[in-house]
Structure 1
Amino acid sequence: MTVRKLESGEWLADFRPNGRGSRRYRKKFKAKAEAVRYEAYVRAKVTKQPEWMPPQKDSRSLAALIETWFKNHGANLKDGKSRYKKLLKLSNLASDPLASEITDKWFVEFRKKRLEAGASPSTVNHDLAYLKALFNELERTGDWDKGNPLRNIRKLKDEPTELTYLQSDDIKLLLNYLKGLRDQDCYLTTKICLSTGARWSEAETLRVEHIAQNHVAFYSTKNGKPRYIPIDRELYQEIRQHARKRRGRLFKDSYGVISEVLKECGIALPKGQRTHVFRHTFASHFMMNGGNILVLQKILDHSSLQMTMRYAHFAPEHLVEATTKNPVVNLERKEPSVVS
């Protein structure tokens, strides 16, 4: 269909500028030249102003968006590969929906199913954070122009996790058990975590050159900023002795070893705290031994003091005035009234 002559003698311009499925234009003219000019005019207008045409539906899937995000941004992040895998796992759990199907309502339903399957509020809050960040970055790079479909979704209220820490007897039992093993990698990794408050991954990926002058330099940190923590002379000598046999990385991966040893020692821990308990143990004992909360914040490299305040109650003097300023104790200290 294009310009053709009708039986009435008029000329009909009948066409679709963008092919089948696009808007159809039909108009009659007395002369063929007028009909031809009209067709050319409309085609030019549609080309210059595509908004005249109905917007095409985004046929990309969530997995396709994730691939685009990783290629243009995620690959350059320190934790890019880890986040990439988590996003693909989310996409798989959601049966890889089309981008156009992702809405507030879609996520609420997806979150409900996740919770029913046993996921915690903290886990689904992380799901939301990852997906929001995905769309924000795609929009910033020009790979998504429909706004963040999850911008109005709020996180669920998450009950604070109980912070478990090891008692002195448990620490002695664990270190003695580990020291008796033939392989000392797990022993030293554990001792470094307990002595510096380091995360397991930070201690496990230390290199020979990161140990110098009674200090440990952590570079594989959560926020990417290096952290320098002093250690006692005994631990420093143990690490240096171990380093004589190594080049590059100091320790092998030993997460599996510490998991088995904790079971062998009968140390039961809440889910998700198998190695993080060493960081909690350092912080708890640091405060119980009279450490300063601001110093602890720097050692743990917390972004806000509020995070570190979780350990404030371990300080010997924490809220101690509650025992001397309460109305009951003051009542008991008053002299009895004289009855006449």
Structure 2
Amino acid sequence: MIVRLFDNFTIINLFALNEPLYSLAERFISYIQLEKRYSGHTCTAYRNDLFQFIDYVTLSYSSMPVEDLTHVMIRSWLSRLMEDAMTAKSVNRKISTLKSFFKYCLRQGLIKQSPMIKVIAPKISRRLPGYIEEKGMRAIEDNVSPVSVTSLHIFADDFEGATHRLIFEIFYQTGIRLSELISLLEFRVDKSNLSIKVMGKGGKERIIPISAELSAQISSYMDQKRSNLEEFEGGVLLVHPHSGQRLYPKYVYLTVRKYLTEHQITTLKKKSPHILRHTFATHLANNGADLNAIKELLGHSSLAATQVYTHNTIEQLKKVYKQAHPKA
């Protein structure tokens, strides 16, 4: 039973008021989870979006079957969200959820036409993804702090330092996501073929080549893990340097931010693990890598998501032009 609290005095059982729509939404979530194999995070987001929409429809228009939902109701809900200062990006995600939901209803024969065809998504101002300059990444690879006159090492010469350094190296040399890093297993590192197998979004696997240096670094780390820890979570490549447990997202996030800030590796305000993924892709694009190859390495489902890195390449060309051409 789903209950919503709207003020200090009134509790409304919306499920009882509009059971058909809520039940249909649950069937849709089961479909994308079991048949489409969407990730748990995506299914939760879709479910929240759908239930928010149905809550709004139920309170504003009372109970109704799915075929009576119109583009006017959807526009009204989206307008309310934007009035509440929701960003265009978040609104577009909810539009994507509704498009998928009504497409499912169409295939099930529950509606004759999707009301989403008359819903226009708000424009998003595209920001170029931030990335770290190559000299900053060279400092990390050389393990020499760029802000120290005594050539102070960035990473300590112990197991904790080895863990932190490997986090950076894997992020930068493979471009994998944070969730993919912490779930990377030892047996998925193929040292003979110099590659790693990554479990990406939607349970999709992809193989990413690695350098001989990174392979050797991973082997060294695995040896150190066994000699420094009495117990650790088996199978997982990267573990917490003290507890031996699988790394958790916040630990990795804080680790990356700490090193990028303390050693002034970048002037970017945002210093997250995702910056290293952007850096991987941008450096590939700036050095002439094929866009389709970058798409496969990143695990993007659409080339449109990868094309943003061509803008950074153009910006790099403009910078070179201004510095080198006498008429610039």
Shared fold, TM over 0.5: yes
Q: Which amino acid aligns with 2:179?
A: S
Return the TM-score normalized by structure 1.
0.64
Contact 2:21/2:54 (<8 A) preserved: no
User: Residue 138 in 1 paired to residue 105 in 2?
Assistant: yes
User: Residue 247 in 1 paired to residue 234 in 2?
Assistant: yes
Change (3 A) 1:302 1:59: closer
User: Residue 90 in 1 paired to residue 49 in 2?
Assistant: yes
Q: How do 1:142-221 and structure 2 match up within 5 A?
A: 142=109, 144-145=110-111, 147-168=113-134, 170-171=136-137, 172=139, 176-177=154-155, 182=160, 185=163, 187-212=165-190, 213=192, 215-221=194-200
In structure 1, the partner of 2:91 is: 124
Task: Note the aligned Cα RMSD (angstroms).
Answer: 3.8
User: Residue 105 in 1 paired to residue 72 in 2?
Assistant: yes
Q: Deviations over 1:103-156 (max 9, x none)?
A: 3122222222322333221211111111110121133235x3354232321221
In structure 2, the partner of 1:284 is: 282
Change (3 A) 1:156 1:315: closer
Identity level (%): 21
Q: How do 1:233-272 and structure 2 match up within 5 A?
A: 233-243=212-222, 245=226, 247-251=234-238, 252-265=246-259, 266=261
In structure 2, the partner of 1:79 is: 38
- Paired with 2:132 and 2:208, the residues of 1 have a C-alpha distance of 21
- Paired with 1:90 and 1:181, the residues of 2 have a C-alpha distance of 43
Secondary structure at the counterpart of residue 77 of structure 1: coil
Contact 1:218/1:226 (<8 A) preserved: yes
Shift of 1:182: 2.4
Structure whose alpha-carbon radius of gyration is higher: 1
Shift of 1:264: 3.0
Shift of 1:256: 0.7
- Paired with 2:295 and 2:51, the residues of 1 have a C-alpha distance of 38
Secondary structure at the counterpart of residue 165 of structure 1: coil
Contact 2:155/2:164 (<8 A) preserved: no
In structure 2, the partner of 1:231 is: 210
- Paired with 1:305 and 1:132, the residues of 2 have a C-alpha distance of 21
Shift of 1:295: 3.7
Q: Deviations over 1:262-321 (max 9, x none)?
A: 4434267567x7222111111222234454445434433445555434333437994799
- Paired with 1:321 and 1:278, the residues of 2 have a C-alpha distance of 23
Q: How do 1:305-324 and structure 2 match up within 5 A?
A: 305-312=303-310, 313-314=312-313, 318=317
In structure 1, the partner of 2:25 is: 66
Task: Name the structure, 1 or 2, with higher relative contact order (CA <8 Å, separation 6+).
Answer: 2
Flag structure 2 segments of 5+ consecutive residues without an equivalent: 1-16, 59-63, 144-153, 227-232, 239-245
Contact 1:104/1:150 (<8 A) preserved: yes
Secondary structure at the counterpart of residue 150 of structure 1: helix
Change (3 A) 1:80 1:298: closer
- Paired with 2:285 and 2:49, the residues of 1 have a C-alpha distance of 39
Shift of 1:194: 0.5
Aligned length: 269
Higher helix share: 2
Task: Decide which moves more: 180-189 or 284-293.
Answer: 180-189
In structure 2, the partner of 1:48 is: none
